[in-house]
Amino acid sequence: MTEQQIMQYFSEKYGTSIFLRLKKLRDEMNELTNAEIEYIDIGCSNTRQELIDELSDVITVAIHAANCLEETSETMLNRAYNKAKIRETNPKYKHSK
């Protein structure tokens, strides 16, 4: 499936409210944090897979949140990359509001 098809599915299933999507992102981040703690404490392959699963949830919800703001994952990656490159020469750089 394409990213567009997947985002359409998530929009139909979960809606496009950015505030609800950001709440879901916080929930998924908490699950990722819990998986991280288990991975650090236990370090077995099952917790590694759980870490990967939770990370995929975070990424997917973040992409859907961006999509709710009419942005794509590629646009968001480029924004982050451009900020990182600017910070190489200007460590105090903040995005303009």
**Shortest CA distance to 15 belongs to which of 75, 23, 31, 29?**
23
Instruction: Report if residue 59 sits inside a domain.
Output: yes
pLDDT band at 14 (very low <50, low <70, confident <90, very high): very high
Instruction: Report if residue 39 sits inside a domain.
Output: yes
Instruction: Report if residue 95 sits inside a domain.
Output: no
pLDDT band at 97 (very low <50, low <70, confident <90, very high): low
Considering its fold, how many domains does the chain have in total?
Answer: 1
| Containing structural domain, residue 26 | 3-89
Mapping DSSP to helix (H, G, I), strand (E, B) and coil, where does residue 16 land? coil
Looking at per-residue confidence, does 45 or 17 come out higher? 17
Instruction: Report the CATH number at residue 80.
Output: 1.10.287
C-alpha dihedral sign at 8, 9, 12, 15: negative
Indicate the helix (H) or strand (E) that contains 18.
helix 18-42
Long-range contacts of 85-89 (CB under 8 A, 24+ apart): none
Kindly report, residue by residue over 30-50, the tens digit of the pLDDT.
999 988 888 888 776 677 888
How many angstroms separate the CA atoms of 66 and 50, rounded? 24
Cα Rg of the chain (Å, integer): 16
Instruction: Report if residue 94 sits inside a domain.
Output: no
Q: What is the mean pLDDT of residues 2-14?
A: 96
